[in-house]
Amino acid sequence: MYKILGKTLAVAVLSTLASLLISFAFVPLMGGQVAGAGLVMTIACPIVISIPASLVHFYLGEKLRSTNTALAAARDELAAAYTRLQHQARRDALTGLLNRATFMTELETRSQAGMHGGLLFLDLDHFKSINDRFGHATGDAALERVGALLSELAREDDIVGRLGGEEFAIFLNAASPARMLDHSQTVREAVEAIDLFSSSGQRIPLGISIGAFHCAPRFNPAEALAASDRNLYRAKSSGRNMVVA
């Protein structure tokens, strides 16, 4: 408000000076004198007119600037919220990996682009017993650790998702069958090496079964996932904590 008053007084002073300058410049040319009531009007008129007009002008201008600032902040906040919602819609809340729907969409995109690669279907072994024996908080911690590990081991153009429960999937973009198997074993060994402890300090051993399937260009995502799922079932049936391709 002080800023508005300062600007208003400045305009009043300038208006008065301009009025005096004009009066003293032109009134004598017309045979008159700037004195008495004429001098008072020369001073009073610009003050009486400029002060209320300037107050309204500067007040509305300041209000408009404040409104524009608030609108810009709201726009930025809305854009940030939209970005967060987009991220949340694509990601699994617990692990931060792609959720099932997004993973399948990305897999379809790779297929349509003519990509080939290795598709891994992974299942954390004996997960129900971890929840039953040590509690769901420990089970969630196991899923978080595995999810972080899978993301860390993946390359930038690979896609990693949590399909639900203790099931994960990885598409190794443009991977050869050899790289697919090597990566699968690396993941299996890394999960096995995770140090997860219960609230009582007991180390909880982890294992993961992996079904691998190599996808040719223009593969069918649903059929490829079903094939890797069948290999996962074979891994589970054969003793768990192993890779079957």
**Whose CA is closest to 163, among 102, 224, 237?**
102
- Helices 221-237 and 100-112 sit at what angle, rounded to 10 degrees? 120
**117 C-beta neighbours (distance < 10 Å), count:** 27
Residue 120: its H or E element: strand 117-124
Strand partners, 121: 169, 211
For helices 2-26 and 36-90, angle between their N-to-C axes, nearest 10 degrees: 140
Please tell me the distance from the alpha carbon of residue 9 to that of residue 162, in angstroms, as a whole number: 67
Displacement of CA 23 from its chain's centroid (Å): 65
The question of whether 144 is a catalytic residue gets the answer no
Structure tokens at 66: 């404040």
**The total number of residues written for the chain in this structure:** 245
Considering the candidates 108, 166, 167, 223, report the single residue annotated as catalytic: 166
- The alpha helices in 91-213, defined as continuous H runs, are 100-112, 127-134, 136-153, 177-192
Residues assigned a catalytic role = 166
